[in-house]
Amino acid sequence: MGRGTMRRLLTIVPLVALAIALMTPAGHATSPKQDFVLGTARHLGADPPFPAIEVRIKARSDATGNKPRGHLFLEVPPFLPDYRGRVTCLNVVGREATVGIEIVKSDDQSQEGKGQLWSVVDGGGSGTSDRIAGFPLTSAPPVDCPLLNFNVPIVSGDYVIHDAPA
């Protein structure tokens, strides 16, 4: 094996391992006493030209929705801003959830400090029946997460939602 091939392997293997860890909800420490939403998926954006966007979520709270924590990453095509959000609220009911975030880092600094709600549905199975939708940015991070019904089908990936008994 040449040095160039070895260098490529040393670069690719850690990236593949990271991707698997992010895509595998079982790889995350969870508790049956916690509500959570975990996963990574791609879906078509709601605004023309309908670019494919990727949303990675790792959100959890206690069974009553208190002590929300985690993050949500949005990766979009180069002409739109990516961002990272800190979870501010989580509401899980069965296989549906609403995740609220505060944008803490963005390619567009004017988004930082704003909030957003995301609606997620775990359709079960392979993920192709999962749905997700982001709502318009708000001037402040949400503190309450009402259950929302507007959802866009995902094109690849999987979300897992766990509703802990209260």
Give the pLDDT score at 30.
54
- Mean pLDDT (whole number) for 129-139: 92
Model confidence at 49, pLDDT cuts 50, 70, 90, reads: low
**Cα 143 to Cα 102: distance, rounded to the nearest angstrom:** 10
3-state helix, strand and coil shares in percent for the chain, rounded to the nearest 5 = 15, 45, 40
Q: Which of 50, 63, 52, 55 shows the shortest CA–CA distance to 39?
A: 55
46 versus 151: the higher-pLDDT residue is: 151
The chain-wide mean pLDDT, for the chain, equals 82
Residue 96 has pLDDT above 90, yes or no: yes
Give the pLDDT score at 6.
41
Give the pLDDT score at 11.
42
- Mean pLDDT (whole number) for 136-144: 96
| H or E element at residue 11 | helix 3-23
Tell me phi and psi for residue 75, to 5 degrees. -120, 125
Give the pLDDT score at 74.
94
* CA angle (102, 105, 110) in 5-degree steps: 85
Evaluate whether 100 touches 145 at the Cβ level (below 8 Å): yes
Give the pLDDT score at 151.
75
Q: Could you tell me whether strands 115-121 and 83-93 are parallel, antiparallel, or unpaired per DSSP bridges?
A: unpaired
Query: CA torsion 13→14→17→18, rounded to 10°?
Result: -150
- Mean pLDDT (whole number) for 80-86: 93
Residue 83 has pLDDT above 60, yes or no: yes
Residue 18 has pLDDT above 60, yes or no: no
**Cα 92 to Cα 70: distance, rounded to the nearest angstrom:** 14
Give the pLDDT score at 26.
41
